[in-house]
């Protein structure tokens, strides 16, 4: 892969991360006035929904061997497996 392709991929990643950050910020701003809804609950439901809609993402993460990827996959699997405790 050429340097140009890595740079294009990096720019796409930055745009995606910015869009996710913006969406989460807007979500929290929209739910902040709801006195009976805790921010933790909003984030938990968001993560649960994303994992339910993208189960193949966990399979993909489990196939990767990088330290950060393994840590992320383990954290998400713990989150998924301990939903009863939340």
Q: What are phi and psi of 64, to 5 degrees?
A: -85, 155
Q: How many Å apart are CA 72 and CA 66, to the nearest integer?
A: 10
Tell me the pTM: 0.61
- The Cβ of residue 21 has, within 10 Å, a number of other Cβ atoms equal to 10
pLDDT tier for residue 84 given thresholds of 50, 70 and 90: low
Q: Give per-residue pLDDT as tens, 9-65.
A: 999 999 998 998 899 889 888 888 877 778 778 888 887 788 788 888 777 777 776
Q: How many Å apart are CA 56 and CA 60, to the nearest integer?
A: 6
Q: 51 and 58 in contact (C-beta within 8 Å)?
A: yes
Q: Which pLDDT score, from 0 to 100, does residue 29 have?
A: 87
Q: How many Å apart are CA 84 and CA 79, to the nearest integer?
A: 10
Parse the chain into domains and list their residue ranges: 1-36, 38-86
């Amino acid at each position: 892969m050429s340097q140009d392709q890595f740079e294009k991929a990096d720019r796409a990643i930055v745009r995606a991360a910015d869009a996710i950050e913006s969406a989460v910020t807007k979500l929290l701003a929209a739910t902040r006035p709801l006195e009976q809804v805790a921010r933790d609950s909003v984030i938990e439901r968001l993560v649960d929904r994303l994992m339910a809609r993208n189960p193949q993402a966990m399979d993909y993460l489990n196939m990767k061997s990088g330290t950060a990827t393994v840590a992320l996959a383990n954290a998400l699997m713990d989150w998924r497996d301990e939903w009863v405790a939340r």
